[in-house]
Amino acid sequence: MKAFAAVGGSLCLAATALATDLFNEASYPSGNVIKRDFVVVGGGASGTYAAVGLHDQGKSFVLIERSGRLGGQTETYTDPSSGTKVDYGVQAYNNISLTRDFFARFNVPVTEFTFPPAAEPVYADFTTGAVVEGFKPGTLGSDYTTELNKYPYLDGGFFLPDKVPEDLLLPWGEYVEKYSLQDSTWATTVARPAPPGNLLEILAIYVFHAFNALEVSLGQGRENGLQTANYDNSEVYENAYSELKANVLLNSTIVAARRSNSRKGGVQLVVKTATGYKLVIAKQLILGVQLVLDTMKPFGLDSKEQSILSKLKGYPYYAGLVSNTGLSNSSWYTNVAAKTPYNVPNLPDFTFFKPTLVEGQFLYWYSALQPTSRAQIESEAVSTINKLHAIAGTKALAKPRFDAFADHTPFHVYVTAEDITNGFYRDLYSLQGYKNTWYISATFARGSSQIWNNTANMLPEIIAAAG
């Protein structure tokens, strides 16, 4: 049997070695074979929460994360001059006991969510660089909640009836017209972290799923969201890593997998790490990643899995911080298209430029229909900032500095109306536990709190499967 090693960052196999050598313990130095009851892939909201749950119940696990930190889309910038923290990823959490308990578990104080600093809204068409005079954003009202209440099975998942209501498969713009939701359209699309893609063409099911009962409570002010008291939402993940790090592989990626159809066979993963290739052998695999094919390819999907997961697609979505803008932190600029239905911006474009606690620094969100490079987005940001100066009656005195950038692609994933009608989500849920693999990611729920809640509900069954 041929042994292999990491050389020059690549997996070097003798030409005559069989592919099965990858999964043979004898092919690895003894220190590069990791045996656990559970392997968790993805150190974002779901994967970290699952790892903490396993740890607290005394279960053996290893958590594999491709980046150099835990937290996924929870990203925080530290201003080098003042030490001020700025969250440019996840902004807020639902104020439920599970959220409060998780932060308390890692001694992270929380407070009611605000979008500091206080700023005057400016509604402008970022394409023309002109203020949209007389624009008034609609408010979330009973027209929306009346419709939402028809679909309680969209809270925290896609637990659809066998016959999916045809209304749910309408493009959102058509649903709005059919049920006269014009007053709530802005509040359920642009005025929040909007689903990516064309906001009037996405299916109604995805609007109701993303802006479900918990999110409506936030939007209507019935519930004050939570954030960390230090404006550092990454703190809970940093503290979690400090406790879990003996069982965490950062900067690590899956290059091959073998998953048995039997419980006894478990799973085997070949992992590329900073210190060489490792073989992970576990009873159960927990996936905290979006289930698009590019992510799932290394896991050796069979025809059943391939036929289901190949249907999932996602649009790009980006966020960043730009400073030295010369703009006043007293204004919050929101993109309002002057000549489109419901003033929804055409894509690609920025959603807003929102001031942060760092003077002259702004947070932006950028939505596109095709992958877009950081250089292109930042070039467009400079152009837009110049337009905002024209609106404010000021002049850019220096070149903006880009402090941070995040690619959240695919931000949300979706399938077609035809796929939903044909039972896609029934088939997706049927994969839970299949080939000793469990799925806990944002494919099923929106927002960290709801993802944590789903993960907490699933963990007992996952643990039981390991025997």
Q: Are 111 and 224 in contact (CB under 8 A)?
A: no
265: left (phi over 0), alpha (psi -120 to 50) or beta: alpha
Backbone angles phi, psi at 413, to 5 degrees: -115, 155
Q: What is the pLDDT of residues 354-406, one digit of tens each?
A: 999 999 999 999 999 999 999 999 999 999 999 999 999 888 878 999 999 99
CA dist 312 → 42, 128, 225, 326, 446 (Å): 18, 35, 30, 42, 16
Q: Are 247 and 55 in contact (CB under 8 A)?
A: yes
Q: 58: exposed, middle or buried (C-beta count within 10 Å: 0-12, 13-18, 19+)?
A: exposed
- Our CA angle for 423, 429, 434, nearest 5°, is 125
* pLDDT of 217 above 80: no
DSSP for 283-306 reads EEEEE-S---HHHHGGG---HHHH
Q: 30: exposed, middle or buried (C-beta count within 10 Å: 0-12, 13-18, 19+)?
A: exposed
Instruction: Return the pLDDT at 90.
Output: 92
Instruction: Return the pLDDT at 218.
Output: 60
In what helix (H) or strand (E) does residue 41 lie, and over which residues does it extend? Answer: strand 33-41
Locate the DSSP E strands across 134-263. 226-228, 248-249, 253-259
**Residue bearing tokens 């993802």:** 451
Q: What is the pLDDT of residues 172-196, one digit of tens each?
A: 999 999 999 877 777 666 655 556 7
Q: What is the pTM of this model?
A: 0.92
What rounded mean pLDDT belongs to the chain?
90
Beta bridge partners of 463: none
Which pLDDT band holds residue 216 (cuts at 50, 70, 90)?
Answer: confident
Beta bridge partners of 124: 131, 335
Q: What is the pLDDT of residues 33-56, one digit of tens each?
A: 999 999 999 999 999 999 999 999
* Measured distance CA(171)–CA(177) in Å, rounded: 10
Q: What is the pLDDT of residues 342-353, one digit of tens each?
A: 888 889 999 999
Which pLDDT band holds residue 301 (cuts at 50, 70, 90)?
Answer: very high
Q: Which residues contact 342 (CB under 8 A, 6 or more apart)?
A: 173, 176, 182, 185, 186, 189, 200
